[in-house]
Chains A and B, each alone.
Chain A
């Protein structure tokens, strides 16, 4: 954030201690996120399978879109920038169909399947 250490503001000792405590908490939360990530990806997979089962396709697509949005918004914060990148890319591809409340065209289905696998790979959870 600063060019040199000399440019950084001098903070009171209690503030520095608080910042160190935050860094420690951040490490703990990152470990929790890593632990919970397989569950989040399984939820994505379950939604995708429900969508392929052709039941309630519009609301299920909205659910998939929301799950991807949350993943895109959090993964990089906890050390998974590639997961954020792919989830965001897929979210944008789904967006027009969610807004139009329409089902996915056939040619996008293979793309979604590929991108969900790419998310699993990026998370270190190989699926194929």
Chain B
């Protein structure tokens, strides 16, 4: 992958508390530009207008779940969807391997420390892009 700077993050998380604190931390601690959505369907509608560098995607959501959203994004972009990091409490080894096989860059286990999340995201990004 190329040497790209991470700036714009699309955050997709259905739980209000976690979405809010995650967005605040990504913006204030990580200094990223963030658009936050409460569903996979809403995330799909933000793809073209926001043009994220990276998508932080919750796995278990009502309606379109994380893997379903990733699949729909790939369809919508003809395979050129932005890279995805899944966020999930389902972070056993086999589950992480499964999510990576779906095309995710990596998986961040929930619950996470919001204050160190930006560093974790940067680390995953740099490992894959620098």
**Chain A positions near chain B (C-beta within 8 angstroms):** 1, 15, 18-19, 21-23, 25-26, 29, 32-33, 66, 69-70, 72-78, 84, 88, 91
A74 contact set on B, CB distance < 8 A: 15, 17-18, 110-111
| Minimum distance in angstroms from B58 CB to a CB of chain A | 8
Q: A18-B28, A73-B89 are in contact. Are A25 and B110 (CB under 8 A)?
A: no
> A22–B115 contact, CB under 8 A?
yes
Q: Which listed residue (B18, B29, B60) contacts A77, Cβ 8 A?
A: B18
Interchain CA distance A65-B74 in the complex, whole Å: 29
Q: Is B119 an interface residue (CB 8 A)?
A: yes
Q: Is B68 an interface residue (CB 8 A)?
A: no
Q: Is B72 an interface residue (CB 8 A)?
A: no
A66 contact set on B, CB distance < 8 A: 60, 62
**Chain B positions near chain A (C-beta within 8 angstroms):** 15, 17-18, 20-21, 24-25, 28-29, 31, 60, 62, 88-89, 110-116, 119
A77 contact set on B, CB distance < 8 A: 17-18, 21, 110-114
B29 contact set on A, CB distance < 8 A: 18-19, 22
| Minimum distance in angstroms from A36 CB to a CB of chain B | 8
> A29–B111 contact, CB under 8 A?
no
> B21–A29 contact, CB under 8 A?
yes
B110 contact set on A, CB distance < 8 A: 72-74, 77
B115 contact set on A, CB distance < 8 A: 19, 22-23, 26
Q: Which listed residue (B15, B62, B119) contacts A1, Cβ 8 A?
A: B119
